[in-house]
Every structure is written in C-alpha cells, then in structure tokens.
C-alpha cells in the first residue's frame, strides 16, 4: 500500500471486527463468494492472531457475476438474514437466439433459435409481463437442495433435477439497450430471484431462447455499488486500519 493510503488508514476510527463490522465490496469477475470471504478472513486471522474468525456474506453472487457483496464479521454475522433480505438491483445482458443448460456462460450452447422476428417493441411488451409477482423455477445449476443434495452437483452428474417454482417480486425491469440478438436490462427484484432463470424465461417468452452473458449487482438494500471497495482496496484497509484490541478470552470469538 502506498504511503498516502497508509496515512489515510491511520487516521480512521479504529474498527472492531470481533464485536462486528459490516463491509461492502465489489466482487470481481471469476471469484466465488467464498473466495472473497476467504481473502478477507485471512487478513483478519493474521491481524488478531487467531485460528478461527467469523466472517460471512449476505447474498451469494455467481463467479460470472460482479458487484455489491456485503461482508459481515464477528457478531455482525447475526445481521446476515436482515441484510440479504434487501431489494436487489442488477444490470444484466442477455444473449437471444441460443440457450445453455446453466442459463449462462458456465455451460456451452445446446440449442439455437431464430431472432429475426424480435423488435424493440416486442421486447418491451415481453418485459412488462415479468413485472410484479411471478413464479420462477430456479436453475438446475443452483445451490438449491433436493433431499439434502445441491442441485448443481446433481446437474453436473447428469442427474434429473426437478425444482419447485418460487414466488418472487419483480419491482422494475428497464430495457437499457436493444439488438435482435442481445439486450441489456436493469432489474429491481426481491431476495431469491435468479437472474439466470429470468434470462431463460424472457428468452422463452420471446420465442428465441436466451441466456445470461453478463451480470452486475448494483444495489443491495441501501448499499449501492458506488459505496463498495474493490477486494484489493478492502484487503489493504483491513491490513492497515487501527483495530480495537480484545482479550484472548473474549467471548466474541472468532
């Protein structure tokens, strides 16, 4: 870290990661949510000289997605359910005319469809049908459980995956850009919404098939992407910011 950033950290109010802190990061492309938690936990383990430390995240992001991720430490992990219940906002790019088993780029294209009939007007009319309360079947390639087994593990083994539809609320869908073979949309939705599944359903409703090619979470509750630090910046902050010391026998462990 350069000297200016170190000086800025030194001037900050001490942080108490054991009693609990809530931090907001911009998860990078290709990282799992666990990767981000592991990086930050490692820094705190070294700073406190502990072998265990409570760190968790309020809402998973797929490796192919970027954006807002809320990280909680210590006793603040008790707030995870509250924080991840907030309304989410996403910017999603959907390729039309082709489908994949995972509804995104994790798996290769398995079918193609015509797109010549797709117009901006048709897309806008179709998107309006998804605003409000909807039922959505989660992707087979998801962390949902079937008889105690993760759906994505079953799907990768080639096993049949049957998931029940869930009732969700889509507050807003805005068409940001249009081309017959690709659209970008802004989605404001409730907890539990799979944007990959939304891409699947929009593609099906357009009669063209569709899959997600890019996804960025821009808001969770009151936390916007503008208030998030990169993983590297947060790592540097945790390394240098003053911390509140705790006795070894402090009941708030770790």
Interatomic CA distance for residues 164 and 201, integer angstroms: 15
Q: How many residues does the chain have?
A: 254
The sign of the torsion formed by the CA atoms of 191, 27, 57, 245 equals negative
Q: Which of 62, 110, 171, 201 does the annotation list as catalytic? A: 62
Picking from 16, 21, 18, the residue whose alpha carbon sits closest to that of residue 79 is 21
240 is catalytic: no
The sign of the torsion formed by the CA atoms of 16, 227, 83, 166 equals negative
CB atoms within 10 A of CB 120: 13
For residues 236 and 25, the answer to whether their CB atoms sit within 8 Å is: no
For residues 74 and 21, the answer to whether their CB atoms sit within 8 Å is: yes
Picking from 55, 33, 34, 60, the residue whose alpha carbon sits closest to that of residue 45 is 55
Catalytic residue set: 62
């Amino acid at each position: 870290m350069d000297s200016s950033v170190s000086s800025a950290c030194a001037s900050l109010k001490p942080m108490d990661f054991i009693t609990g802190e809530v931090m907001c990061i911009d998860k990078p492309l290709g990282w799992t949510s666990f990767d981000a938690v592991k990086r930050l936990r490692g820094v705190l383990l070294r700073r406190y000289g502990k072998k265990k430390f409570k760190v968790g995240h309020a809402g998973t992001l797929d490796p192919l997605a970027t954006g807002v991720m809320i990280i909680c430490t210590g006793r603040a992990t008790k707030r995870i359910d509250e924080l991840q219940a907030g309304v989410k906002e996403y910017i999603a790019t959907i390729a039309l005319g082709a489908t994949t088993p995972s509804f995104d780029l994790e798996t290769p294209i398995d079918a193609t469809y015509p797109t010549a009939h797709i117009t901006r007007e048709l897309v806008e009319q179709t998107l309006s049908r998804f605003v409000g309360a909807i039922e959505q079947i989660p992707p087979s390639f998801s962390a949902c459980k079937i008889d105690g087994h993760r759906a994505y593990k079953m799907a990768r083994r080639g096993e049949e995956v049957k998931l029940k539809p869930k009732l969700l609320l889509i507050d807003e869908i805005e068409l940001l850009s249009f081309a017959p073979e690709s659209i970008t949309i802004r989605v404001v939705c409730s907890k539990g919404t799979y944007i990959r599944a939304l891409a699947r359903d929009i593609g099906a409703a357009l009669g063209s098939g569709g899959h997600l090619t890019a996804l960025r979470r821009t808001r969770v509750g009151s936390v916007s992407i503008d208030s998030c630090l990169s993983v590297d910046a947060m790592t540097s902050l945790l390394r240098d910011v003053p911390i509140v010391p705790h006795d070894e026998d402090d009941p708030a462990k770790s």
